[in-house]
A and B are shown apart, each in its own frame.
Chain A
């Protein structure tokens, strides 16, 4: 009998993910404090307005560097495959918890892949626009128009990033078993097969060398 669990994330990957999460949380809360007056009270979490202003860019840079670690480890698994198109067309069923007609997908579903690339784009925009508006070190090298564009893009990318992470966190709450995959690393075989069948077939291939792997389409 085989009922072993499957390792979805290695200890290093988990550590990397949660370090990004911690720095994201701090960068996001301090950024939101400056985003709208209604959230300025969040600056108290960081020791007041000036400390928020001082710390936010450093937290952002650390987050970006750590996020690159995730990108390097996961970007291959986030290339789109042909099943993804059909999955996306049937995303309505996915949201309704219906499984009929939803094609099997790899280690990541197309929603996760879209999230991955959106996060990467946001992170890049945030980094470069953030450097331009980093008054203490870099702003003096840029003209006022560049700074105004950077301000706008920084706020926009921050907004998209926060929105994406809200979706990301909710998906974790909704899809039972995915949080523990990132906490202790393991998923059940049933989970792997249900949510990421092609990935499941791939990681269990060694157990059944004869079984063909068919990525549909």
Chain B
């Protein structure tokens, strides 16, 4: 079945099939409700049939240590000491944010390897992935990972296969505290707003919604106790944007570069047409006499047919 809901496609300069009108969806992760049980990690692994290698305990609760091609979501634990000297255990479920303006998609050189659906899901199509890793370079959140097995890039799909048939993502379904909820983006914002009112009334002055403008908003959002300093949550960027280096690399400079190369070829062609080749007429050099003869007559300037005086 053809996809008719693709509103952005990597390395594609024409409009993709996009007549289907879908409501934007979002996953809302409420860090204030999360107990760090990792059920979401297990559900992700189960539904997507991923089995990461058993790693090592490096003294934190993070398990495994990092996202990988087989770990698309990961609880990151941060022990934060407040100014008042209290310890806060900040737990954030890390994974793809499904940006409205995805840096991975902007950076990808392979047509159709990254697509953005009308519902906001940013999905990798590994059939088209060439394994260059440009998506990693483009991502403001350090999410995609290249598999060492097949050299393809992987990340959270927001369970696009489940969402396509009206189910919520596996992590949402399994979350025992309701810290992860899923629905239309508008509904999720509304839900978050209610949570924020509630939390503020209970003393969390800086609570807020993380839906960063710099990437056009995201389809995975957080409710954070410390929305003023998201970076506390294991380095969640305060104001993520596509890096200016990536913008420069992938923005207007590439078509301009292409244009310059084409113009250089054209310039050469028309130089040849208008001015013509640089030919050497063999007559320009007089036939030399035997150098021995030349030597005895220094008045003969064999090598200077124009008779110019050379200093």
Contacts and interface: CB of A to CB of B under 8 A. Distances in A.
Interface of A: 1-3, 33-40, 43, 48-50, 52-53, 95-97, 133, 135-136, 139, 144-145, 147-149, 151-152, 155, 159, 162-163, 166-167, 169-170, 173-177, 188-191, 193-195, 201, 207-208, 210-211, 214, 216
27 contacts: A1-B287, A2-B290, A38-B13, A48-B130, A53-B130, A53-B132, A95-B271, A97-B275, A148-B137, A151-B246, A152-B249, A155-B253, A163-B264, A173-B272, A174-B272, A175-B278, A176-B277, A176-B280, A177-B280, A189-B285, A190-B283, A190-B285, A193-B303, A194-B280, A208-B295, A210-B295, A211-B303
B133 A139 contact: yes
A190 B260 CA distance: 35
B268 interface: yes
Contacts of A191: 280
User: Which 4 A-B pairs rank lowest in CB-CB distance, beginning with the nearest?
Assistant: A49-B130, A170-B268, A135-B133, A37-B11
Interface string B40-72: 000000000000000000000000000000000
Contacts of B83: none
Contacts of A175: 277-278
Contacts of B243: 148
Interface of B: 11-13, 109-111, 128, 130-134, 136-137, 142, 146, 151, 243, 245-246, 248-249, 253-255, 257-258, 260-261, 264-265, 268, 271-272, 275-285, 287-291, 294-295, 303, 310-311
Contacts of A33: 109
Contacts of B284: 190, 193-194
Contact of B261 (A43, A163, A177): A163
B137 to A, nearest CB: 5
Given A166-B261, A211-B303, A149 B277 contact: no
Contact of B281 (A148, A155, A190): A190
A36 B248 contact: no
Contacts, number: 146
Contacts of B295: 208, 210
Nearest to A2: B288
B151 A136 contact: yes
Given A39-B258, A49-B130, A190 B280 contact: yes
B264 A166 contact: yes
A53 B108 CA distance: 12
Contacts of A139: 133, 136
B131 A50 contact: yes
Given A155-B249, A208-B291, A37 B264 contact: no
A159 B277 contact: no
Contact of B278 (A97, A147, A167): A97
A35 B258 contact: yes
A36 B254 contact: yes
